[in-house]
Amino acid sequence: MPVLGTHRTALRRAAAGCAAVLTLALACACGPRGATSQDTAAAHPSTSGTPSANLTLSPSADPSGSAAASASAGAGGAASENVNPSPRASSSASASMSVTPTTAAASPTAPNSATATTTPSSSATPTAPATTAGAPRPAEDAPGSSIVYSTASGGRTVALTFDDGPGPATGQVLDLLAQYHAKATFCEIGPQATANPALVERILAGGHRLCDHTVHHPQPMHTLSHDKQVYEIDAAKDMITQAGGAGTQVSWFRAPGGDFSADNRQIAVQDGLRPLGWTVDTRDWSKPGVPAIIANVQKELHPGGIILMHDGGGDRSQTVAALKLLLPWLVQQGYTFDFPAS
């Protein structure tokens, strides 16, 4: 029995030792009871400089269509992004982006930033004045097909041009031009020239020049088929030259409403005509009143400019009355009268 009791005592001591070892192992693996998440975070600190950011996109209320995107960063920094698109959606634009990340540790007061700025590029082709909505921008100039927007001599000269005739007002216009020794270019409708050959001859006799302004004054012209545009230009030129007689020269083509296209410009060039634009639109065709016609000229005219007026296409009494005042004003301003470049 004493031996059996001794064995039992040894077994109890061994079991107690195993329990103590197990308890110690569990304590090492799980940590002390009651440890908080802060204690754990202190024991295992996170690395600074890699903050997590929540990106929030919020379109601005800018009516021009620009949008802003802002990013709010947590913990160590912030990020912001501003995008300013071109206000004109149809314009081409070049974008430059500069991104410079910074960490909170390196610069506590400077937030992370990523800024994108979109700047519209300048157009290589100047916008030509036109009164026809939706007219396409002329294509790259073919040889000799660029539109004329200046006088032949430049300097302090001006070119007077009259469209849609010859008509009832043409004789009065010619009288005024003769009084001031002014020369002008008449952009004629083919059938109008055929109906008034005496006026066409008088225009030429006065030292003025002629321009092709189509047969039917179609608007918008660029929507016509190629063959119809050829007819409008070729037939009008034939009618004008026949009305003027032998040796009549037609030097320019003006598209109705300024609706020039690569097609009708090339047709004109093949017919020996230079496309003719303008720089001053008096808007006399709309009969805005004599003061408005004069004001448009005084506001828009620059040396070497081309003035658009009308001697046909309706009642042109306002045009004649305005011309009576404009001719002496132009002389007083030191302008001399010239033809468009050809």
Question: What pLDDT band is residue 35 in, cutting at 50, 70 and 90?
Answer: very low
Interval 144-157 mean pLDDT: 94
CB 60 within 8 A of CB 66: yes
Whether residue 284 lies in the annotated active site = no
* Annotated domain spans of the chain: 157-337
* Dist CA 159 CA 24 (whole Å): 107
> What integer pLDDT is reported at residue 142 of this predicted model?
54
pLDDT of 101 reads 37
State yes or no: pLDDT of 149 exceeds 80: yes
CA 224 to chain centre: 25
Write out pLDDT tens, residues 297-307. Answer: 999 999 999 99
Conformational region of residue 154, where left means phi above 0, alpha means psi within -120 to 50, and beta covers everything else: left
- Write down the mean pLDDT value for the chain: 73
Query: Greater confidence, 169 or 58?
Result: 169
Residue 185: φ, ψ to 5°: -115, 130
Binned at pLDDT 50, 70 and 90, residue 60 comes out as very low
% of the chain beyond a pLDDT of 70: 58
Among residues 208, 213, 222, 310, the one annotated as catalytic is 310
Q: Domain 157-337 sits in which CATH superfamily?
A: Glycoside hydrolase/deacetylase (3.20.20.370)
**pTM of this structure:** 0.61
pLDDT score, position 290: 98
36-40 mean pLDDT:
39
| pLDDT of 147 above 80 | yes
Identify any residues that bridge with 96 across adjacent strands, giving them in sequence order.
117
Whole-number pLDDT of residue 145 = 87
Per annotation, catalytic residue among 163, 164, 234, 338 = 163
Is position 259 annotated as part of the catalytic site? no
Query: What does the pLDDT read at residue 144?
Result: 74
Average pLDDT over residues 61-66: 36
Tens digit of each residue's pLDDT (9 = 90 or more) over 66-97: 333 333 333 333 333 333 333 333 333 333 33
The three-state secondary structure class of 251 is: strand
Beta-strand runs (E) in 92-156: 93-100, 113-120
Give the list of residues 6+ apart from residue 169 with CB closer than 8 angstroms, or none.
Answer: 311, 312, 316, 317, 319, 320
Q: Provide the residue type at 41 as one letter.
A: A
pLDDT of residue 131: 42
Cα gap 275→284, rounded to integer Å: 22
Taking only the tens place, the pLDDT of each residue in 121-142 is 333 333 334 343 333 444 455 5
